[in-house]
Amino acid sequence: MQESIAIVGAGWAGCTAAYRLAQAGYRVTLYDAAAQPGGRARTWHWENQEAFMLDNGQHLLIGAYHATLSLLAELGTLTQLQRSPFRFCYVDGYGFKPPAWVEGSPIKAYLPPSLQLLIAWLNGTQSSTEKWALVRFFCYALGCRWQAPDGQSVIQLMRQYRQPANLVDRLWRPLCVAALNTPIELASARVFLAVLHDTFFGPAGLANDLPPATRMIKREKCHPTDYLLPKCSLGELLPEPICAWLTQQQHDVFLGELVTAVRPLSGNAPGVSVQTRQHIFQHRACVIATRWQQLTQILPPAILTAQQHQTSAQPAQPITTVYLRYPSHYRLPAPIQALRENTDNPGQWVIDKGQLDPKLAGLFAVVISTQTEIKLTQTNLVGAVCLQLQREFSHLQLPSQALDYQLIQEKRATFQCDTARVTPSPNTLHPAIWLCGDYLLARYPATLESAVRSGNAVAKAIIERFTG
Ligand SMILES: Cc1cc2nc3c(=O)[nH]c(=O)nc-3n(C[C@H](O)[C@H](O)[C@H](O)COP(=O)(O)OP(=O)(O)OC[C@H]3O[C@@H](n4cnc5c(N)ncnc54)[C@H](O)[C@@H]3O)c2cc1C
């Protein structure tokens, strides 16, 4: 007989778990409080702009996202990603700036990716002290096997590895925020080193199948640092195809259904009850795939471990995305560009959506992470971002105001990946209730990859429990 498994939460973690369990022959019921699947990585419709299906916040995938890329390949949506080479270079040439004799030349296909990065770094406009400090950083990290003590923050790591202040401000601080969405003073050095290792030295996997962007040459292999930008909306990439497949396979997908409580069945009956506002359903087992903060709202406290209780109180960090619409002939020099951030210039990254989908020509997404205290009003923030783009890309002669804008502020975009963070087990104290979500992987910060890996892992654990 098919065991019936409930999954509460149709984010990327819950969708992955549901898909894997259904593939293994279990009867799956997927619940989500929202009207559409995807959670924090869902499609969002720009009001009054019928053509614009955007995301709940601009997302970036990279070549090192093995589990995610493998799942997208199964779903047939892998080709919806556009691959472009890692480029962390400001408009003034500071950073990784590939020289003309490498960029776009056939020689590139024969250079190992790490050598390409080294050449690009040595070609940047930073001082030679800073150039050698970065090389020293990687040598130290290699010597320590990419490990750091648990309580060490990234800023302490920078001091230990003798990184100059300007290099910390212009390279390490923004890289840390981009990777961990946590300020460098709080961020965990252990997780940061793990991310750097897997991104710069891990295998690239499936992304080799992706057609390279126009600026990349044909034979160029994909590197784990490569940026993979979605050409479609995030919903179309994974959660919507999974929900459509589940429905087609006669599984239940209940969207707009808030789960108010999940309780073990009373007596000796195996299984759980899932309570929504109107109904109570019974299942053999349940996976809670919500955010970390919602565990204690849905589950009885007695079935959570001490670490799971501690996790539910982990602080969050925000991400703001400002979508700006300019006349369609405006095009940035690259699909993604790092911006120089300071008090007057809040933007950290800009993505030219028109280079991913021609329908979106002239639409730019500016990302602002971790600034818990943006003191500007919405209109002033948008105004400041427009002026920042106008200054940074002065050769484009952008107007001082966009035609239209949308601002999406996610106050609890990710958990704070700090030195005090604990990673709990996905097993609760009840044998039929499991946890799943981006917060369950000790090695990584909150990412789509962590969510997908966690979904795969919980499905495997459930299958082993019922078959073993
Ligand atoms: C603006 C922004 C930008 C980001 N950028 C990146 C990026 O560039 N790269 C990257 O890898 N990651 C990025 N992330 C992080 C990434 O989106 C998350 O790590 C990932 O989506 C988490 O997925 P999840 O399934 O674990 O959780 P969630 O997406 O939070 O899913 C939880 C689901 O549970 C549902 N739910 C909650 N409570 C209930 C209830 N009581 N009943 C029913 N349903 C419930 C919610 O509606 C939600 O759908 C970003 C996040 C944000 C917000």
pLDDT in tens, 428-453: 999 999 999 999 999 999 999 999 99
What fold, for 4-54+234-314+420-467?
A: FAD/NAD(P)-binding domain (3.50.50)
pLDDT, tens digit (0-9, with 9 covering 90-100), for 216-275: 444 456 778 888 999 999 999 999 999 999 999 999 999 999 999 999 998 777 899 999
How far is the centre of ligand 1, averaged over its atoms, from the C-alpha of 186 (Å)? 22
Q: Name the token pair of 296.
A: 């204690």
Q: Name the token pair of 318.
A: 């925000």
Which of the listed CATH numbers 3.90.660.10, 3.30.590.10, 3.90.280.10, 3.30.565.10 matches domain 316-415?
A: 3.90.660.10
Q: What is the DSSP letter of 345?
A: B
Please say whether the beta carbons of 393 and 91 come within 8 A.
Answer: yes
**322 bridge partner residues:** 366, 407
Tell me, what's the ipTM?
Answer: 0.99
How far is the centre of ligand 1, averaged over its atoms, from the C-alpha of 38 (Å)? 7
Element spanning 54, H or E: strand 53-55
The closest residue, in CA terms, to atom 15 on ligand 1 is: 447
* Cα 454–Cα 458–Cα 461 angle in degrees, nearest 5: 140
pLDDT band at residue 205 under the 50/70/90 scheme? low
Please say whether the beta carbons of 318 and 147 come within 8 A.
Answer: no
The closest residue, in CA terms, to atom 1 on ligand 1 is: 57
Q: Using the atom order of ligand 1, give the atom closest to the CA of residue 276.
A: 42
How far is the centre of ligand 1, averaged over its atoms, from the C-alpha of 42 (Å)? 8
Tell the burial category of 377 from Cβ atoms under 10 Å away from its Cβ (0-12, 13-18, 19+): exposed
Rounded-to-integer distance, Cα 149 and Cα 142, Å: 15
pLDDT over 90 at 103, yes or no? no
Q: Using the atom order of ligand 1, give the atom closest to the CA of residue 65.
A: 11
pLDDT over 60 at 208, yes or no? no
Task: Report percent pLDDT > 70 for the chain.
Answer: 94
| pLDDT value for 218 | 47
> Residue 4's closest CA among 199, 327, 251, 201?
251
* Pairing outcome for strands 4-8 and 285-288: parallel
Please say whether the beta carbons of 349 and 336 come within 8 A.
Answer: yes
Mean pLDDT of the chain: 91
How would you write 105-170 as a 3-class SS string? CHHHHHCCHHHHHHHHHHHCCCCHHHHHHHHHHHHHHHHCCCCCCCCCEHHHHHHHCCCCHHHHHH
How far is the centre of ligand 1, averaged over its atoms, from the C-alpha of 20 (Å)? 19
User: Would you say the CATH fold of 316-415 matches that of 4-54+234-314+420-467?
Assistant: no
pLDDT band at residue 215 under the 50/70/90 scheme? very low
Rounded-to-integer distance, Cα 195 and Cα 286, Å: 31
Rounded-to-integer distance, Cα 42 and Cα 235, Å: 5
- Protein residues with CB under 6 Å of any ligand 1 atom: 8-14, 31-34, 39-41, 57, 59-60, 258-259, 289-291, 294, 298, 319, 321, 410, 413-414, 437-438, 446-449, 451
Which region among 44-58, 169-183, 230-244, 442-456 has the lowest average model confidence (pLDDT)? 44-58
Q: Using the atom order of ligand 1, give the atom closest to the CA of residue 438.
A: 26
Helix 173-180 vs helix 189-201: crossing angle, to nearest 10: 90
Q: Using the atom order of ligand 1, give the atom closest to the CA of residue 12.
A: 25
Q: Using the atom order of ligand 1, give the atom closest to the CA of residue 60.
A: 8
Q: Using the atom order of ligand 1, give the atom closest to the CA of residue 55.
A: 1
Which region among 45-49, 212-216, 399-403 has the lowest average model confidence (pLDDT)? 212-216
Q: Name the token pair of 446.
A: 């909150």
Pocket probe mutation, ligand 1, options 31, 55, 59, 293, max atoms within 8 Å of Cβ? 59
Pocket probe mutation, ligand 1, options 448, 452, 454, max atoms within 8 Å of Cβ? 448
Tell the burial category of 236 from Cβ atoms under 10 Å away from its Cβ (0-12, 13-18, 19+): middle
Element spanning 230, H or E: strand 227-230
Q: Name the token pair of 23.
A: 């593939």
| pLDDT value for 385 | 96
Per domain, the residue ranges of the chain are: 4-54+234-314+420-467, 83-230, 316-415
pLDDT band at residue 15 under the 50/70/90 scheme? very high
How far is the centre of ligand 1, averaged over its atoms, from the C-alpha of 291 (Å)? 7
